[in-house]
Structure 1
Amino acid sequence: MLDAVGALAERATLDALLRCCVREVAGPRGQVWRAGPYLMVHLAGALLRVRSAGGAALRFDGTAELRCGGEWRPLTVDELVELVAGELGGGNEEFAAQVSASREVTGRLVEARREAEPPGDPWLASEQALVFGHPFHPSPKAGGGAERLQYAPEAHARFPLRMFAVRDDVLHEGGDTRALDALGTAPPGYALLPAHPWQADLLKPHLAGPLAEGLLLDLGPGREPVVPTSSVRTVYEPNAEICLKFSLDVRITNCVRKNAWYELEGAVELNSRLDPVFADLAAAHPGTSRLREPGFRSVALGLPLLEGLGVIVREGPWRVCGPEVTPLLAGALAGHEVPHPCGERRAADPLAWWTAYVERVAPPVLDAYLRHGVVLEPHLQNVLIGVDRSGMPIEAVFRDLEGTKLVAGRHDLTGVPDRVAAALTYSAEAGWSRVVYCLMVNHLTEIAATVVEAARPHDPHALLADLWASAWKVLSVYADARGRPAPLASLLDGSPLPAKANLAVRWARAADKTAGYVTVPGPFPGGSR
């Protein structure tokens, strides 16, 4: 018998894996159908059911069940893992362990939160709210083992950085890194280089030589604790009001979170190119901004340390948002893990709140692609929503240049090293797929589902239809103003949407950059409104 924490972790893990199965496996194979309040799923010869109100977000009401011996009984995570393996033909001996590890970490995070003090800053509280992780990932919390809890945002961790000094002749940096110098004091002839303490421990074999030779100095812990944000490896330094994006040689969801050398160089290159783009977006769509990444710092001591100690400086959101505007992570607004300053306003007036939300987020993302050839990555962890004192969305702040790309052929990259240029670009088709997936499927679909759940209407289906009708009007007005470009016209006419296949890429044990898409129905049935 599971205790309350174990049951919560089991349910969260089961729901995430089942969503992946429905979206990526059973659905495309025609093995999903509705029967009254239930979603029925046929998987590897077994019949499953779960209560669901429908919608692309696949929110479940109650525990999934397995038909066994003529009766229905609760389905377990381990049983579902076996069914997935059976349906996919086996061949991945790591998968069960990854799902199990994710379930275990989820339970430990839930338990740790009960004992820890949450941050008083509402933005940081929202960054630390993603207890259950990606709703369409088979093992969203796998990776890192027991050490993860020491540095986990979900556990309200706070910790000092590990401070190094790098000798000037082996310093490697780009852009404006002056913010790093305010974090401590380096001896003459050296520059300060903060590191994530977890990464510093992982790099011990590579650090021993440079430390012995005096190329690096270990200055010990930093003066003040930092606060991890939702990505785990990016932290907020409250005194300097900056974010620091570190390398972390740990797989979190699909990726080992390391700053590759070309990503360090590319961040500075892209940062300067985005200045005029966002100036134009802000003029056309007031309330639009981004967190700039002005520089990076690392060491010229071979590739493992160049990448492993690379740190990217990022602006903090409180410096970017307007007065009396509170930034909140969009991912926190898509869940129910923690209360937030706009909860009451959203529940009381869901249609107005949603319309304001879509107006803030969608047009600048589409404009960036269509007018500027810039592919933003507006998934739930890359967007902050600025709300006013009443809780109404009035600003959208975009962040993380790693996922931002330039459409190939629309930008002059002369002089940019080939590897850096390749990492900075998408084809027009790949860029549009990424924009539509992040904006429509990963982001707005999840927000819409939570708006409906929070409002608790008598007819959830009717409210969801009203939300998407309102979104269609917002996007249609924008489309008309831009001459109704073909990709957007197709979206408004009800074309299917691309959804990232996280289960497939994990099952294949492939790199995240190779992840493909499955198609899911679009929210717009087509035709004029």
Structure 2
Amino acid sequence: MDGRLLLDHHTRDPHTRDPHTRDPQTRDRHSALAEETALGALLRCWLREVACPRGHVRAAGPHLTLRVAGTPVRVRVHGGIALRFDGPPEHLVEGRWRPLGLSSLVALVERELDGGNEEFAAQVRAGRDAVAAILASRAGAAPPADPWLASEQALVAGHPFHPAPKARSGDDWLDYAPEAHARFAPRLLGVRADLVTEEGDTAALDAFGDAPDGYVPLPAHPWQLGLLAAELRGPFADGRLVDLGPGTRAVVPTSSVRTVFDPGTGMCLKFSLDVRITNCVRKNAWYELCGAVELTRRLTPVFERLARRFPGTRWLPEPGYRSAALGTRLLEGLGVIVRGGPWAVCGPGTTPVLAGALAAGADGVPEAVRARRAADPVAWWRAYVERVAFPVLDAFFRHGVVLEPHVQNVLVGFDADGWPVEAVFRDLEGTKLVAGRHDLTGVPGEVAAPLSYDAARGWNRVAYCLFVNHLAEVAATVAATTAGTADGVLRALWAVARESLERYVADHAAGLDALAPLTRVLAGAPLPAKANLGVRWARAADRTAGYVPVPNPLRVDRVAEGEHR
């Protein structure tokens, strides 16, 4: 037994290669694609959050023309509110349209927003460089044979409406990057038994190895141990913790980076990770550890009822957590939440696929799904909307539960013919209870408060995640990958979505109170879109992020060509 913290034994995926060793032409292609990806993300943010609300966008032939710091910028757009770009954006320089580069766009954004954020440009560049490094590592790595894990590791570009979706800190992040097809062995710690803090079912953690007498095993993310090295020296020196070395088996990181799948138990582990990914430092706050178990207890009967009403509805409970009582910093930093795995809840013959992969395109999407989606897009889409949207809406209106159904929190189960037959909801961190609808007596106030949203805030979250982040992105991809006119297909898809939502109201929501928010959406009210550029520019916590209105593609008179205006 060695009480020292051994930080140099990373288990690097043998397929991962140094991105700087590849040939120059390949590096140039990766750099160009990374530049295009980063430029598109920042420009989409600007269009949605600044140019459109300020009325600085107009149609000019096949282009949208907008102004950034007084400079005209034009780009071809399709996909409705998803804002997919056809061809490179251009800006007007000395009377001529010239290609717009990322550095030029960043400088224009900074000028119009009057500076004030010296971190912003570096974050955008870091996101671009991360995509280039991911592409290089990915080129030399084999994707997982498991189709669900392949979809989890397919999100190379990341959030399409975030100014720096792939920015990562540190030198060894590729060792743990799902997009680079990483896998690694967690380190196993021993926590002195009198210092263990845990709740619920934590048996999945014991499967990673035995601890010496008087200690309890605790798997840890190697990246996190490096980040906590200074704080861990004391507990390792005095024996409150012991380092038992690398675990005996590898885990596979999923799309969130810090949550991994353990093939040995079929369970997922949600580690803390003191790294900013999009807007949040991804650590498990102490109240989230307790809250996950509390929500699992409360949501078990809710999902049982949802599954009876909407067959095919599934979820991944979070039945337990374990950490070490070594002060708040280490309690949170070493905390691990146990989560169910999708293969255990999906029916026989059903393959779970991450919705984010379905939104992004073809990578990580099984061939049967792509073929069915292309062959019968309208019927496929109808089934998709009903599997995903109906339980989300019913959870909110009937049960007072705010799910967070964005594309990284939903897995869609497909049968052998590629039809959507199940929807699996996960990640209780963003799941909330509508205030006044649930009795939280007996739950400590510090835990209860973060579990609740008022109804208006809850609806904004549901509407953004479901309609803007999820359905709009998947619809844009379905339209773009279907034979025929993409705009015409997109109009047909939104018409079908509207019919399905009206059927939900007629068949399932009749008599329910407080349906007004959905009624307003069906009447064409603007939808709320999260303002990621605004919160990143302000260097604010993600929980403070506001929303900007975007056109509602469900409006009866909405045409696809005008959805983004």
TM > 0.5: yes
| Aligned: 1:235 with 2:235 | no
Question: SS of the residue aligned with 1:259?
Answer: coil
Question: SS of the residue aligned with 1:56?
Answer: helix
Shift, 1:143, TM fit: 2.4
| Aligned: 1:506 with 2:532 | no
State how far apart, in whole Å, the 2-side matches of 1:284 and 1:106 are: 42
Shift, 1:252, TM fit: 0.6
Q: Map Cα deviations across residues 452-491 of structure 1 (whole Å, 9 max, x no partner).
A: 011132x222111110110011110111231272111111
State how far apart, in whole Å, the 2-side matches of 1:337 and 1:145 are: 30
Verify the 8 A CA contact 1:131 1:337 in the aligned structure 2: no
Name the structure 2 match of 1:223. Answer: 248
Shift, 1:442, TM fit: 0.2
State how far apart, in whole Å, the 2-side matches of 1:120 and 1:336 are: 19
Shift, 1:42, TM fit: 1.2
2:546 is aligned, of 497, 508, 516, to: 516
RMSD: 1.3
Read off the aligned partner of 2:84 and give its amino acid letter: R
Name the structure 1 match of 2:476. Answer: 449
Name the structure 1 match of 2:62. Answer: 37
Shift, 1:401, TM fit: 0.3
State how far apart, in whole Å, the 2-side matches of 1:34 and 1:480 are: 38
Read off the aligned partner of 1:390 and give its amino acid letter: D
1:495 is aligned, of 496, 504, 525, to: 525
Shift, 1:296, TM fit: 0.1
* Change in 2 beyond 3 A, CA 1:394/1:98: same
Higher relative contact order (CA 8 A, sep 6+): 2
Question: SS of the residue aligned with 2:412?
Answer: strand
Name the structure 2 match of 1:468. Answer: 494
Q: Map Cα deviations across residues 205-247 of structure 1 (whole Å, 9 max, x no partner).
A: 1211112222111100000111000000001111111100000
1:346 is aligned, of 350, 369, 373, to: 373
Read off the aligned partner of 2:488 and give its amino acid letter: A
State how far apart, in whole Å, the 1-side matches of 2:80 and 2:398 are: 31
Name the structure 2 match of 1:214. Answer: 239
Q: Map Cα deviations across residues 101-125 of structure 1 (whole Å, 9 max, x no partner).
A: 1100110001110011111000000
State how far apart, in whole Å, the 2-side matches of 1:215 and 1:327 are: 41
1:328 is aligned, of 344, 353, 370, to: 353
Verify the 8 A CA contact 2:154 2:364 in the aligned structure 1: no
Q: Which moved more, 1:518-527 or 1:171-180?
A: 518-527
Verify the 8 A CA contact 1:228 1:234 in the aligned structure 2: yes
State how far apart, in whole Å, the 2-side matches of 1:339 and 1:345 are: 15
State how far apart, in whole Å, the 2-side matches of 1:53 and 1:19 are: 12
* Number of positions where the alignment pairs a residue of Structure 1 with one of Structure 2: 527
Name the structure 2 match of 1:265. Answer: 290
1:95 is aligned, of 98, 120, 124, to: 120
Question: SS of the residue aligned with 1:63?
Answer: strand
Q: Map Cα deviations across residues 390-419 of structure 1 (whole Å, 9 max, x no partner).
A: 111000000000000000111000111111
TM-score with structure 2 setting the length: 0.92
State how far apart, in whole Å, the 2-side matches of 1:136 and 1:472 are: 24
Q: Map Cα deviations across residues 365-408 of structure 1 (whole Å, 9 max, x no partner).
A: 00000000000000000000000001110000000000000001
Read off the aligned partner of 2:143 and give its amino acid letter: P
State how far apart, in whole Å, the 2-side matches of 1:302 and 1:339 are: 41
Shift, 1:527, TM fit: 8.2
Verify the 8 A CA contact 1:227 1:235 in the aligned structure 2: yes
Question: SS of the residue aligned with 2:83?
Answer: coil
> Where in structure 2 are there 5+ consecutive unaligned residues?
1-24, 559-565
| Aligned: 1:391 with 2:418 | yes
Question: SS of the residue aligned with 1:412?
Answer: coil
State how far apart, in whole Å, the 2-side matches of 1:178 and 1:157 are: 25
* Change in 2 beyond 3 A, CA 1:230/1:54: closer
Shift, 1:337, TM fit: 5.6
| Aligned: 1:153 with 2:183 | no
| Aligned: 1:319 with 2:344 | yes
| Aligned: 1:425 with 2:452 | yes
Q: Map Cα deviations across residues 245-297 of structure 1 (whole Å, 9 max, x no partner).
A: 00000111100000000000000100000000000000000000100100000
Task: List aligned pairs for 1:86-485, cutoff 5 A.
Answer: 86-336=111-361, 338-341=363-366, 342-457=369-484, 459-481=485-507, 482-483=509-510, 485=515
Verify the 8 A CA contact 2:79 2:479 in the aligned structure 1: no
Question: SS of the residue aligned with 1:159?
Answer: coil
Verify the 8 A CA contact 1:294 1:313 in the aligned structure 2: yes
Task: List aligned pairs for 1:77-92, cutoff 5 A.
Answer: 77-92=102-117
Read off the aligned partner of 2:61 and give its amino acid letter: G
Question: SS of the residue aligned with 2:491?
Answer: helix
State how far apart, in whole Å, the 2-side matches of 1:204 and 1:231 are: 23
State how far apart, in whole Å, the 1-side matches of 2:28 and 2:242 are: 48
Name the structure 1 match of 2:563. Answer: none
Name the structure 1 match of 2:562. Answer: none
State how far apart, in whole Å, the 2-side matches of 1:54 and 1:223 are: 46
Question: SS of the residue aligned with 1:372?
Answer: coil
Q: Map Cα deviations across residues 493-521 of structure 1 (whole Å, 9 max, x no partner).
A: 11100000000000001011100000001
Verify the 8 A CA contact 1:129 1:337 in the aligned structure 2: no
Q: Map Cα deviations across residues 142-179 of structure 1 (whole Å, 9 max, x no partner).
A: 12243211100000001100100111100000111112
Task: List aligned pairs for 1:35-74, cutoff 5 A.
Answer: 35-53=60-78, 55-74=80-99
State how far apart, in whole Å, the 1-side matches of 2:165 and 2:447 are: 29
State how far apart, in whole Å, the 2-side matches of 1:526 and 1:53 are: 19
| Aligned: 1:525 with 2:528 | no
State how far apart, in whole Å, the 1-side matches of 2:556 and 2:306 are: 28
Shift, 1:53, TM fit: 2.5
Read off the aligned partner of 1:391 and give its amino acid letter: G
> Where in structure 1 are there 5+ consecutive unaligned residues?
none
Q: Map Cα deviations across residues 400-443 of structure 1 (whole Å, 9 max, x no partner).
A: 00000000111000111111111100000000000000000000
Shift, 1:188, TM fit: 2.1
Read off the aligned partner of 1:466 and give its amino acid letter: A
State how far apart, in whole Å, the 1-side matches of 2:420 and 2:170 are: 37
TM-score with structure 1 setting the length: 0.98
* Change in 2 beyond 3 A, CA 1:234/1:364: same
* Change in 2 beyond 3 A, CA 1:282/1:54: closer
Q: Percent identity?
A: 63
